[in-house]
Amino acid sequence: MLSEDKEYRITSLAFKDTQSNTKMAKLQLKTDNVEEGFNCVIWQDVLEKTTKNTLKVGNIVKVKKYDHNEQYNNYILYSLELVQEEKIGLGEEEKEALLIKILETVDLFKDKKLKDAILKVILENRELYISSPAAEKIHHNYIGGLLQHTCECINIAKTLFGTLYKDVNQELVIAGCITHDLGKMFEYIFDEETGAITRNAEFKKVWISHIHWGFSWANQNEFPELAHIIASHHGLKEWKALVEPQTHEANLLHLVDTISARLGAIEIKDIEKRQQGQLRLF
């Protein structure tokens, strides 16, 4: 149960329209030492009374008044107190440094056609790409999260190349690290003021998911092996993979993606700790 005495971090936030054409917010609150979160709702009348800087992903708040909705197992919030305001994503210099690392990695590719295709899609969508989160919840769900997740995947893959996976097509795996989630820059809509993330309904109508978009992009550019890696990077069909991995490269990319998603920095506060040497990936 929520408690009025505890401090909670806003770990996800989305603003939505109700069927009665009013506004609402869906958010998840967590204490820093507990994995499970509390799903909460704020209706329009309370939203209008809540100060704008209170509702931001990463902020620490106290819940001053609430009701528990047993039917939906969530909490209706009536009053929030801001305890600490946090940054909602990577800064411009942080994003630029990660982008440069990714571009320099692609520039080393021996396959010119592959290099040109990846550089083209990134640079044509540069502003969208550098700000995109890597998820709505779960992992890297902050501005610049896609960059962070991509660089983590590259680093993890290179580590595994030197130990368990010496005989794979390394360039193809790195290409998979960079492209497997590219479609997320179109899949999510993000608010750079609040950090709120929602799914793009128009994108979903056409593409269903970032996996379908990436699979199509790779096939249109005639990269069938990369298309398979993208299609299978979730690992199992029940995890929304289009197919299950059939090659060493696809299996490795699935493993790398899973390590970053599960053990990488989940919240923006963890990025700062890692930069200060207080938190490590392994």
Q: Per-residue pLDDT tens for 128-152? A: 999 999 887 768 888 899 999 999 9
Residues 141 and 230 in one domain: yes
Q: To the nearest whole percent, how much of the chain has pLDDT over 70?
A: 93
pLDDT number for residue 165: 75
Structural domains counted in the chain:
2
Beta bridge partners of 41: 26, 76
5 vs 107, more confident: 107
Question: Of 99-108, 119-128, 174-183, 187-196, which gets the smallest average pLDDT?
Answer: 187-196
Q: Per-residue pLDDT tens for 2-27? A: 988 899 999 889 999 999 999 999 99
pLDDT band at 83 (very low <50, low <70, confident <90, very high): very high
Q: The tokens of 176 are what?
A: 């998979």
CA torsion, ordered 123, 125, 127, 129, to nearest 10 deg:
-90
Residue 3 located in a structural domain: no
Residues 117 and 19 in one domain: no
Residues 167 and 247 in one domain: yes
Domain endpoint, select from 53, 84, 115: 84
Q: Per-residue pLDDT tens for 253-268? A: 999 999 998 875 555 5
pLDDT number for residue 194: 84
Domain endpoint, select from 28, 60, 84: 84
pLDDT band at 168 (very low <50, low <70, confident <90, very high): very high
Residues 177 and 206 in one domain: yes
Residue 157 located in a structural domain: yes
Domain endpoint, select from 31, 50, 84: 84
Say yes or no to pLDDT of 72 above 80.
yes
Residue 183 located in a structural domain: yes
Structural domain harbouring 182: 92-275
Task: Spell out the long-range contacts of 261-264 with Cβ–Cβ below 8 A and sequence spacing 24 or more.
Answer: 261/134, 261/135, 261/138, 261/139, 261/140, 261/149, 262/139, 264/139, 264/140, 264/148, 264/149, 264/152
CATH of the domain at 29: 2.40.50.140
Span 244-251, average pLDDT: 96
Residues 118 and 240 in one domain: yes
Residues 70 and 167 in one domain: no
Residue 198 located in a structural domain: yes
Residue 47 located in a structural domain: yes
pLDDT number for residue 196: 85
pLDDT number for residue 1: 85
Pair 247, 228: CB distance under 8 Å: yes
Say yes or no to pLDDT of 276 above 70.
no
Residue 101 located in a structural domain: yes
Span 111-137, average pLDDT: 95
Question: Of 85-94, 170-179, 228-237, which gets the smallest average pLDDT?
Answer: 85-94
What is this structure's pTM? 0.78
pLDDT number for residue 122: 98
